[in-house]
Structure 1
Amino acid sequence: MSFLSTRPPRPAARSTARTGVLLVNLGTPESTRYGDVRRYLSEFLSDRRVIEINPWLWQPLLQGVILTTRPFRSGAAYRRIWNTARDESPLRSYTRAQAEKLRAALPSHGPVVDWAMRYGRPSIAERLEALQAAGCERILVVPLYPQYSATTTATVNDAVFRALMRLRRQPTLRIAPPFADHPLYIEGLAQSVRATLAGLPQQPELLVASFHGLPRRYVKAGDPYPAECNRTMVALRRALGLSARELPMTFQSRFGRERWLEPYTDARITALPARGIRHVAVVMPGFLSDCIETLDEIGHELREEFLEAGGETLTLIPCLNDSPAAIRLLQAIVAQETAGWN
């Protein structure tokens, strides 16, 4: 008597499990009002990866002097760039649009696409739960930072893992790597530079690349951020056919008294008129989307300083935002990082 069945095996049941994609950007206050800006800054500046100071020393200073005064200045900056039509910051508008356009670019049976902010709302934990509720048992998290730093990508990972710690049933998880020199990112940046410059009545005498800064001691502790930025610059200079002198790399957004990565964007650009350079353009390859650091810090504050120093025009090269180039990049990242899942 044979114990082997002569009947053909039944076909495996088709899995109803879905794949989710969560795009994550830095964050934004809910409004430009003092209370909302203070609440956002408190969450952001309380992150131990962002401010590596003993909280027993930092928190009294933060919750006292800094959060008493800084929300006024930050609120004014946000008001200058606020998307009044939707009553939200440009970063929220662009991140939502990236998710919506990526969803439309993917097959109808493809991944469920959502978005979140590391600080503020919608939170990472909230959107992970929403993806699970939509039947997603596999989730790809895409930090929208081109270059890796512990202060950006790693803190997104921290928030994701903390959210998973509260779940009894956890999804299978992947986190997309940075895309510092991804061919589609570099191609998109180069296209943005060429298109912007082609439409100018006065061509800039110098093109400057500005990245968000980082304290030098973070780098000494092992943060690879400068090397990541350099990867972007090598590829972008090659794509544009420019040398390091023709496209220098600088760092912005420093605060406090300690030394940050140099050269500083503001010092470098405001010194240009004394050298006879009065028309400049600035590209910001450290940001996928325009935000307060690009639109106001460079497009408003630095432009005013440059004009006061004797400059004539400072042109802002737009980030990729929700352009077709940005969506092609995100689509390629999703396809690569979900390989084997779909």
Structure 2
Amino acid sequence: MPLFKSPFAKEPSFNHGQTPKTAVLFCNLGTPDSPSAPDVRRFLAEFLSDPRVVEIPRLLWLMILHGIILRTRPKKSGEKYASIWTPEGSPLKLWTEKQAKLLQGWLGQRGHHVMVRYAMRYGSTSIASQLDALKAEGATRVLILSAYPQYSATTTASVFDSVYAWARRTRNIPELRFVNRYHDDPRYIAALEVSVRRYWKAHGQADQLVMSFHGVPERTLHLGDPYHCECMKTARLLADQLGLVKQQYRVTFQSRLGRAKWLEPYTEPTLKAMAKAGTKRVDVICPGFTSDCLETLEEIAMEGKEAFLKAGGKELNYIPCLNDDAVWITALCEISLQHLSGWPTLEAPDAAALAASRVAALSLGAKQ
């Protein structure tokens, strides 16, 4: 029996001479395992315990979280999740898993030997478990690719925290790279543009296009978080590509939590005000979400629509997230390749080809 327990996880078996492997870990927020109150409670407990997500004095917040929120919110949130749940499970999980598989296939078709896995910051299929699995499969280089186009400490940095926490208990840490943002990447913007134009071609163009992003507390902006600015830039670039003037689109923020002031204008009050002002039809897109989820399918396509219609509007259409759209998957792959640059991902030539190349080089040198 050892005298002490090592603080580091046991390393997987290593064979000298084994080929180094490169991997991409595509990270999204996460989802409960089911819409049941117990599963939602476990998910919310992990999510809302993250100090990146809620930045108020720790002891006070934990008292509120465990004394009030986790006693009352899981049942109500579970009902919301149940309204969008599919026979195969959570939409966010299904789309994220599919995106990872398509990314793997796209890279493979172009000769890149890269393992691609998906992970969730909260809930099942954790970042740590997926990094452990990649190491066990021989990954020596890992690109951490966030599903969040706009950087925020509440989302992107929290993913990085989880990676760093895993690294702290790992003896042999792979090379790591991180994709912080792609909010203004022309390929991402083009994928959004194509999705909107395709929708308009099939359904016609609304009086107004609302671009709704997930909200964060306003104080984070004043503390230096770039999220608000990056959302505004995404919206401006998309509007420019669509040929919209300022009077034809709005930028709003959804999903408030608590009583603190969050980024404004808020989505639902804006939709109500537009309806009361005489706007008949609104199209809503959520550019900050790359996979449809609770916040898009329930909060916008259901609750937002109901609020708009009750306030006098005639029609609200939700334009789906990028999901498995071919233009988006291509953009995601090209963004990945940009950040994989310098890592050997192309298939290595076989021994015979290497020998022939060496002989040719020596022969050429002798002639010179």
Structure-2-length-normalised TM-score: 0.87
Aligned to 1:132: 135
User: In the superposition, relative to structure 1, how do residues 203 and 341 fare at CA in structure 2: closer, same or farther (>3 Å)?
Assistant: closer
SS in 2 for 1:142: strand
Partners of 1:186 and 1:194 in 2: how far apart?
A: 12
Partners of 1:64 and 1:198 in 2: how far apart?
A: 50
Mapped contact 2:191–2:328 kept (Cα < 8 A): yes
Count of matched residue positions in the alignment of Structure 1 and Structure 2: 327
Partners of 1:20 and 1:105 in 2: how far apart?
A: 14
Deviation at 1:176, TM superposition (A): 1.3
Q: Work out whether 1:18 is the aligned partner of 2:40.
A: no
The list of structure 1 runs, each at least 4 consecutive aligned residues, that deviate by more than 4 angstroms after superposition, is none
1:17 aligned partner, one-letter code: P
Partners of 1:282 and 1:289 in 2: how far apart?
A: 15
- CA-to-aligned-CA distance 1:171-203 (integer Å, 9 cap, x gap): 000011311011111111111111112222x64
Aligned to 2:186: 183
Partners of 1:40 and 1:111 in 2: how far apart?
A: 31
Aligned to 2:310: 308
SS in 2 for 1:276: coil
- CA-to-aligned-CA distance 1:253-299 (integer Å, 9 cap, x gap): 11211111111111111111221112100011111111110110001
Mapped contact 2:207–2:248 kept (Cα < 8 A): no
SS in 2 for 1:287: coil
Q: Work out whether 1:163 is the aligned partner of 2:166.
A: yes
Mapped contact 2:37–2:75 kept (Cα < 8 A): yes
Q: Which structure 2 residues correspond to residues 141-156 of structure 1 after superposition, within 5 A?
A: 141-156=144-159
Partners of 1:126 and 1:158 in 2: how far apart?
A: 15
1:273 aligned partner, one-letter code: A
The structure 1 residue matched to 2:48, chosen from 31, 45, 48, is 45
Partners of 2:112 and 2:200 in 1: how far apart?
A: 40
Q: Higher helix proportion, which one? A: 2
Deviation at 1:244, TM superposition (A): 2.3
SS in 2 for 1:269: helix
1:133 aligned partner, one-letter code: A
The structure 1 residue matched to 2:240, chosen from 220, 238, 241, is 238
Q: Which structure 2 residues correspond to residues 94-105 of structure 1 after superposition, within 5 A?
A: 94-105=95-106
Aligned to 1:4: none
Q: Work out whether 1:255 is the aligned partner of 2:285.
A: no
SS in 1 for 2:151: coil
Structure 2: gaps spanning 5 or more residues: 1-15, 345-368
2:105 aligned partner, one-letter code: A
Aligned to 1:93: 94
Partners of 1:109 and 1:317 in 2: how far apart?
A: 33
Aligned to 2:290: 288
SS in 2 for 1:175: strand
1:272 aligned partner, one-letter code: M
User: In the superposition, relative to structure 1, how do residues 261 and 45 fare at CA in structure 2: closer, same or farther (>3 Å)?
Assistant: same
1:239 aligned partner, one-letter code: Q
SS in 2 for 1:248: strand
Mapped contact 2:22–2:140 kept (Cα < 8 A): yes
Aligned to 2:200: 197
Aligned to 1:266: 268
Aligned to 1:72: 75
Aligned to 2:360: none
Q: Which structure 2 residues correspond to residues 186-225 of structure 1 after superposition, within 5 A?
A: 186-200=189-203, 203-225=205-227
Deviation at 1:247, TM superposition (A): 1.4
Aligned to 1:106: 107
Partners of 1:41 and 1:288 in 2: how far apart?
A: 21
Partners of 1:177 and 1:264 in 2: how far apart?
A: 26
SS in 1 for 2:246: coil
Q: Which structure 2 residues correspond to residues 297-336 of structure 1 after superposition, within 5 A?
A: 297-336=299-338
SS in 2 for 1:266: helix
Bigger Rg over Cα: 2
Partners of 2:225 and 2:38 in 1: how far apart?
A: 33
Deviation at 1:245, TM superposition (A): 2.2
Mapped contact 2:216–2:262 kept (Cα < 8 A): yes
What fraction of aligned residue pairs are identical, expressed as a percent?
A: 48
SS in 1 for 2:249: coil
2:281 aligned partner, one-letter code: H
Partners of 2:266 and 2:29 in 1: how far apart?
A: 22
Partners of 1:15 and 1:163 in 2: how far apart?
A: 24
1:299 aligned partner, one-letter code: A
Partners of 1:156 and 1:136 in 2: how far apart?
A: 19
Partners of 1:218 and 1:337 in 2: how far apart?
A: 28
Structure-1-length-normalised TM-score: 0.93
